[in-house]
Structure 1
Amino acid sequence: MRRWWEKWIAAPGLCPLCGSVHSAAVWAGIWDRLCSSCKAGLHQIRPPCCPLCGRSWPVPSLCGDCLRHRSRDLERNVGVLRYTSFPKELMRLFKYRGREVLAEPLGEMMAEALFAAGIRPEVVTYVPLHPDRMQQRGFNQSELLAREVARRLNLPLGSVLERIRPTPPQSRRSRRERMSALSGAFRLNPRSAGTAMDKKWLVVDDVYTTGSTLAECAKTLKAAGAKQVCSLTWAR
């Protein structure tokens, strides 16, 4: 008769993204636990890349967008993946189809990428939703990702930012329109007064598009006394 632990070790694992069977051990790293199909659809951002926004770039210097629109408050963004068709589908399932369980594998990828990038924040926070949007969706995907990142890096999670003004969907807006819509949209939670003083913060979001949202969050934290603000996104 096989002992219980032998059965557990021999049991096939399940891909954390699609649930299909694979042969990796349950304690293997996140990328080893993905099935071959999912792994083929995810394109990690590898050096060289822009040292500010984290996008793939032919040389390790600022990309054209960052040269023209560099944020004075956001020091650096780390992006895990290029935002191609499969990551877009996963994010749609996560945000709009109630697949909240995806927060765990996505957050694990993010924590691993941040550690590899050498960024060592002291506190983790996230891009907040406006209360109206929160009521419609029922959860904040950025908060779920931030909780997983903070847990895996053994860091405190601070819910310090509030979105005080609703903003329309930003995906089809130009950079100038985004910045105008987001100006003054965030504030420091009044209950968190003083918590941002002289600390290194990490702001977590799902996707970095133009960086306008993260730059505005960083501006709010720096105005409250943050020492440094970096960001981490699953896709770029």
Structure 2
Amino acid sequence: MNLSRLLSPLHQLLAPVGQICLACGRPMQTGDRHYPEVCRTCVAEIPWIRHPRCPRCGRHIGCPDCTRPGAFRRPFILNRSAVAYDSRMREWLAQYKYRGREAYAPLLARMMGQAYKTLASEMAFAQRLGKPWRVDAVAYVPLSSQRLAERGFNQAELLASGAAAAARVPLIALLERARDTEKMSLKNRRQRLNDMRAVFRPLPEASDLLVSLLESRRDRDRRPDRQIRSPLRLLLVDDIYTTGSTAAYCTEGLLLAGEEAGIRLEVYSLTWARS
């Protein structure tokens, strides 16, 4: 019999509170400096997407979605994701999203903060800016009232809070669901695309919130003439990017709110994982 298997539960019982790796359950002397909830071994195995293969959707491997003829037209500028959606990351998200392990919340939020910093660095370099690239606010994909009541929280809102904290900008609710949909994990690509049409719409107060954002930016930068011409830049956050349909239809809702307010918008998508 393997002695280590016998001792492992004993080690977990005797380890100091807070010194058990959230992901693998093993005792740890100290957690990672940036992600103290998990051990350094688990942190080292995070499949970060630092150099996406597809410049449009941020996929880390070859992307047929963005290269096929008649590809799905996306109204957002681009998507970037923190990690590849492998079996380990699928388990992390499931522990929080479906099993209610709230201890994962700060870990996932900080990972989104890092993803935002990576995006900002990429955009500053690509656009040859002489100053840091930034968004004006962070929005998120809404849940239906039924799903929110069942789950008790919106995982996209939690992830968005991490990005907003890293960007030091407001986190705002701009969208609502016009109707409920079945779980996306149960659908194929075509079903996902069809099911998301006409699902998202701006909240009644969305246009007023965008006007307030623009006024705040004018006051902050003290360059009103330039800021009138420059569009508001929004970051849209969700947990997983699969086909891009959710991000696309949410972006359409955001752009509609911008039109109603007479404000031009640029929408960037940021997700925790890319499938």
TM-score normalised over the length of structure 2: 0.72
Mean CA deviation greater in 192-201 or 71-80: 192-201
Aligned-residue offset at 1:164: 1.6
Pair member with larger Rg: 2
1:229 aligns with 2:262: no
Aligned-residue offset at 1:131: 0.4
Aligned-residue offset at 1:146: 1.1
CA 180–196 in structure 1, closer or farther in 2 if over 3 Å, else same: farther
Give the SS at the match of 1:65.
coil
1:138 aligns with 2:152: yes
Which of 110, 135, 153 is matched with 1:121 structurally? 135
Aligned-residue offset at 1:124: 0.5
In the other structure, the counterpart of 1:67 is: 67
Aligned-residue offset at 1:54: 0.9
* 2-structure distance, mates of 1:71, 1:47: 23
Q: Is contact 1:52-1:76 (8 Å) kept?
A: yes
Q: Equivalences for 1:52-201 in 2 at 5 Å?
A: 52-57=56-61, 63-68=63-68, 69-118=71-120, 119=123, 120-196=134-210, 198-201=231-234
Give the SS at the match of 2:186.
coil
Which of 48, 51, 62 is matched with 1:44 structurally? 48
Tell me which amino acid in the other structure corresponds to 2:84. Answer: R
1:45-76 CA distances to partner (integer Å, 9 max, x unpaired)? 13142111111136xxxx32012334331111
Q: Is contact 2:111-2:162 (8 Å) kept?
A: no
* 1-structure distance, mates of 2:22, 2:165: 18
1:21 aligns with 2:28: yes
Aligned-residue offset at 1:42: 2.1
Aligned-residue offset at 1:100: 2.2
CA 175–194 in structure 1, closer or farther in 2 if over 3 Å, else same: farther
Tell me which amino acid in the other structure corresponds to 1:64. Answer: P
Structure 2 unpaired stretches of 5+: 1-17, 124-133, 212-230, 259-263
Give the SS at the match of 1:171.
helix
CA 82–179 in structure 1, closer or farther in 2 if over 3 Å, else same: same
1:211 aligns with 2:244: yes
Give the SS at the match of 1:125.
strand
* 2-structure distance, mates of 1:45, 1:143: 21
* 2-structure distance, mates of 1:220, 1:187: 5
CA 159–66 in structure 1, closer or farther in 2 if over 3 Å, else same: same
1:70-106 CA distances to partner (integer Å, 9 max, x unpaired)? 4331111111111111111111110111112312111
How many residues get paired? 218
Tell me which amino acid in the other structure corresponds to 2:34. Answer: G
Greater share of helix residues, 1 or 2? 2
Q: Is contact 1:75-1:230 (8 Å) kept?
A: yes
In the other structure, the counterpart of 1:220 is: 253
TM-score normalised over the length of structure 1: 0.82
Tell me which amino acid in the other structure corresponds to 1:210. Answer: T
Q: Is contact 1:130-1:166 (8 Å) kept?
A: yes
Tell me which amino acid in the other structure corresponds to 1:231. Answer: S
* 2-structure distance, mates of 1:92, 1:74: 27
Give the SS at the match of 1:206.
strand
Q: Is contact 2:141-2:250 (8 Å) kept?
A: yes
Tell me which amino acid in the other structure corresponds to 1:65. Answer: D
